[in-house]
Amino acid sequence: MKILHTSIAVKDMDESISFYCGVLGFELLRRRERPKSMMEKRPESRREIAFIGDEDGTQIEFTCWKDREYLASGDELDHIALAVPNMDEAMKTFKAKNVDIVREPFTRQGSTGRTAFVRDPNGIWLEIIERKQS
């Protein structure tokens, strides 16, 4: 596995981008709101995301939850994304080791690889993204 990015929940997207890019020197890579069709299917997941990065390719994802009025201490770490070359094999291993599978593999609109979510023993969500090796 390879770490792709770490996601943190932020209170204010503009303020966070301004700090990380203007003060720390990261670059804004992309920013988008969840497509309206997805929000209608899963209204609890109304959010905006943005990715920032550095010259080494390190990325941080900001997740701004639209219906959350505050973040309790400890809510800031949203998830860690990990790449796997074969989702089916990864899921077989997770199931054999009794990993808490939060969301079975699915394909996002406009994506070719599959994504799943599992939870580590501390309750931290891990986003598992299938990335075929070339």
**pLDDT for residue 124:** 83
What is the percentage of the chain residues whose pLDDT exceeds 70?
Answer: 84
127 given a catalytic annotation: yes
Map out the domains of the chain with their CATH numbers: 2-130 (3.10.180.10)
Distance CA 69, CA 71 (A): 7
When the pLDDT of each residue in the chain is averaged and rounded to a whole number, the result is 84
56 φ/ψ angles, rounded to the nearest 5 degrees: -90, -5
Q: How far is CA 121 from the centre of its chain?
A: 18
DSSP 2-40: EEEEEEEE-S-HHHHHIIIIIIT--EEEEEEEPPHHHHH
- Which listed residue (44, 104, 127, 130) is catalytic? 127
Question: 128 CB contacts (<8 Å, ≥6 apart)?
Answer: 81, 82, 84, 87, 90, 105, 115, 116, 117, 118
> 17 versus 40: which is more confidently predicted?
17
pLDDT mean over 127-134: 83
Which pTM does this prediction carry?
A: 0.66
